[in-house]
Homo-oligomer: A and B are copies of this chain.
Amino acid sequence: MSSRNAGRQPKYQRIAAELRAAIEAGEYGPGERLPGENDLMATYEVARMTARQALGVLQAEGVVEARKGAGVFVRDFRPIRRRGIERLAHAGWGEGRSVWATDAEGRELAVDLVEVHEGDAPPVIAGVLDLADGSRVCIRRRRYTLDGKPVLLATSYLAADLVSGTPITRPDTGPGGIYARLAELGRKPVRFREEIRSRMPNADEVERLELPSGVPVVLVARTAFDAEGAAVEVNDMVLDSSAYVLEYGFEA
């Protein structure tokens, strides 16, 4: 080659590290444009593919975002806070300052798309809801947006036997939402379990959440239990990880 690098690491890593340091030092603030392919080719005297690799590292880290035809820009992080508790009026919680700053809570989530239909229960869902394999379930898909940008995909599953003929099977479920309707059916949810994990999004999620590359998704699977301890609803949520901070509280 060719590729004999001065230090001990590849050129593209070195270039990426220098840019990263410059960003952390505040030389390039959020939203600001930073040197592109052509600039890096000139200043570091490397080939286009090498300069692109360096920028690719920062994109994969979610630090910067490339806009075709325009340039490469520093990304910013202004999440909203989602509380597991305290949405249900559990006053006294959450005292003390938070670790991560979140935006003014003024901004509100808006439902963007709603789609309701009946279908076969996926095996995992059937297991959680304690239904026979292949049982029918009501599937409610929603997309939430924040200031126009989609941030959350939610899919609820409820046993078709339980909810057919109720407003739950219609896009608009009426005041109080599906939990109020479940209460009217004598199956009011009283306990919730949320399971959380994170991974990189698949192509479908990238499209529906309009995710830039380098941003993982957080998966929250919420199961609602009624007073008898039976699972009445499973809500499968996919969140844009750059838009959310989740918060939970519990006692010792």
Contact = CB atoms under 8 A, between A and B. Distances in A.
- Which 10 A-B pairs give the minimum distances between C-beta atoms? A216-B216, A99-B221, A198-B198, A198-B241, A196-B246, A248-B248, A97-B127, A193-B249, A61-B200, A96-B231
A214 interface: yes
Interface stretch (A33-41, A87-95, A133-141): A87-95
A112 interface: no
A60 B130 CA distance: 36
Contacts of A88: 250, 252
22 contacts: A60-B200, A60-B213, A79-B197, A96-B128, A97-B127, A99-B125, A99-B128, A99-B195, A100-B195, A100-B197, A100-B221, A189-B252, A192-B251, A194-B247, A194-B248, A195-B245, A196-B245, A196-B248, A199-B241, A200-B214, A200-B215, A216-B216
A25 interface: no
Interface in A173-225: 179, 188-203, 213-218, 221, 223, 225
A252 B191 contact: yes
B195 A247 contact: yes
Contacts of A200: 60-62, 214-216
Contacts of A195: 98-100, 245-247
A99 B124 contact: yes
How many copies of the shown chain assemble into the complex? 2
Contacts of A197: 79, 100, 218, 241, 244-246
Interface string A63-107: 000000000000000010000110010000111111110000000
A229 interface: yes
A249 B234 CA distance: 14
Nearest to A251: B191
Nearest to A126: B97
Contacts of A118: none
Contacts of A246: 195-197
